[in-house]
Amino acid sequence: MIKRLFMFALAAACAAALLAALAHAAADQPAVGAPAPDVKLTSNEGSPVSLKDYRGKWVVLYFYPKDFTSGCTLEAHNFQRDLQKYEQANAVILGVSVDTAESHKSFCAKEGLNFKLLSDADAKVSTEYGSVMEYNGMKLSARNTFIVDPKGNIAKVFVGVKPIAHSEEVLAALADLQKSYH
């Protein structure tokens, strides 16, 4: 009984710490309407990618913790499943994590992903987007998504994303944003 109470208290303390970290991170994210901080990272293809490369298109910039993990794989598969819908909406998907470009290359090959994953090995871009967290002493990208409009401004922010229905959520938001975009 005491062991169960201890485990419950420990789980509650961890949950409280995670919520506090998420609340703190949210304060550091770029605001809707603000220019999106530039991204200059190496892709899974080994080439440099900048957010400026996509001016004139909508960009779904999603941050995720780690290649080859269950939630991240599910989220990536759902974006891949809906890739044609994003293309029809004049949108590109860019995934960002602290994994290496080589890890991203292997992840894309194994999972059949046809969009770019960007390596933020020093977590600099994740930090600029208020999307960095610590897990077991390691810095990882927190699961947040930003829709960037064709002019390069933040149009929508999703914090603490749940991978299972996120692609549908992003597509719906993108459709709403495009209706009122001028």
Q: Could you list the active site residues? A: 72
Strand ranges for the chain from DSSP E: 40-43, 48-50, 58-63, 91-97, 116-119, 132-135, 138-141, 145-148, 154-158
**At 150, which amino acid appears?**
P
Q: What is the C-alpha separation between 121 and 125, in angstroms, rounded?
A: 9
Secondary structure of residue 36 in the 3-state scheme: coil
Q: What is the CA radius of gyration of the chain?
A: 17
The three-class DSSP label of residue 55 is: coil
| Cβ 177 vs Cβ 155: under 8 Å | yes
Q: 85: how many CB neighbours lie within 10 A of its CB?
A: 15
